[in-house]
Amino acid sequence: MRYALGIEYDGTDFFGWQRLAHGPSIQAEVEAALSFVADHPIEVTCAGRTDAGVHARCQVIHFDSDARRDERAWMLGANSRLPHGVSVLWTRRVRDDFHARFCARARRYRYIILNRAVRPALQARYVAWERRPLDAKAMHSAAQVLIGEHDFSAFRALSCQATHARREVLAISVRREGDRVIFEIEANAFLHHMVRNIAGSLLEVGRGEQPFEWIARVLEKRDRALAGATAPAQGLTFIGPKYPAEWQLPPQVTL
């Protein structure tokens, strides 16, 4: 039997989603908790890996088990074993051909910048900080050129292992809410560090260091060295994937 789970986590104290030999990961914690509930080893597959320090509002995973547990038992049992900062939000029994990664049609991220003179204290785990005033309208205008299918080589990490850099951005926006500048992006898929590299480039526009037309030139040149620095991890949250309605998953992850 195959199950899909929605998971929320604070990535601050982890080395990222992926299981590692040299540090704590969300995947390892989730697999250990589910293995306890199932009483046999469980391996999970996620919709999209997140880096060290990156959070998730609704990461989606799938796993297989013949253990006789209802959906509520999987959720409550796993949560009883997970560390603070990681929670299972929901569980659904799904068809055996469901795949958390390959069935997703879109993925969404949000990057939050606290834009004020004083560094954050209470919000430090969840926002990036920029003391210089940012022009959110200029950042939004600059970002619109990224909509559509493009080669995003200029915004991928040098260590990115994807076979190609073509991705389709479905929506992108930058807005100001008080002292926060909020950058949101939705795409069919993302490259390694793609969102943080775009955020770092948009920050240069927001600070007035580059004109808004600069983003288009960087995209066209396909050269990572021309783009801005990688923005800090703590401002980034994986909002979640989106699936066709046929999978009957909760509304927050359904197209």
Read off the pLDDT of residues 56-106 as tens digits, 9 standing for 90 and up. 999 999 999 999 999 999 999 999 999 999 999 999 999 999 999 999 999
Q: Which residue has the tokens 């793609």?
A: 194
- The strand pairing partners of 122, in sequence order, are none
The confidence score (pLDDT) of residue 160 equals: 85
- CA 181 – CA 19 distance, rounded (Å): 32
Within 120-225, residue ranges assigned H as helices are 136-143, 194-206, 214-221
Closest CA to 4 of 97, 125, 108, 122: 97
Largest CA distance in the chain: 59
194: Cβ contacts below 8 Å, ≥ 6 apart? 152, 155, 156, 167
- The answer to whether residues 135 and 100 touch, using CB atoms and an 8 Å cutoff, is no
Proportion of the chain above pLDDT 90, given as a percent:
96
- CA 185 – CA 199 distance, rounded (Å): 10
The helix (H) or strand (E) run that includes residue 30 is helix 26-38
Q: How many CB atoms lie within 10 A of CB 245?
A: 9
| Residue type at 143 in one-letter notation | A
The confidence score (pLDDT) of residue 71 equals: 96
pLDDT in tens, 172-205: 999 999 999 999 999 999 999 999 999 999 999 9
pTM: 0.95
Q: Which domains does the chain have, with CATH numbers?
A: 2-103 (3.30.70.580), 106-238 (3.30.70.660)
**Alpha-carbon separation of residue 180 from 121, 135, 210 (angstroms):** 14, 11, 21
Q: Is the pLDDT of residue 20 over 90?
A: no
- Out of 51, 70, 97, 179, the active site residue is 51
Q: How many residues comprise the chain?
A: 255
pLDDT in tens, 120-159: 999 999 999 999 999 999 999 999 999 999 999 999 998 8
- The answer to whether residues 77 and 131 touch, using CB atoms and an 8 Å cutoff, is no
Please confirm, yes or no, whether 51 is among the known catalytic residues.
yes
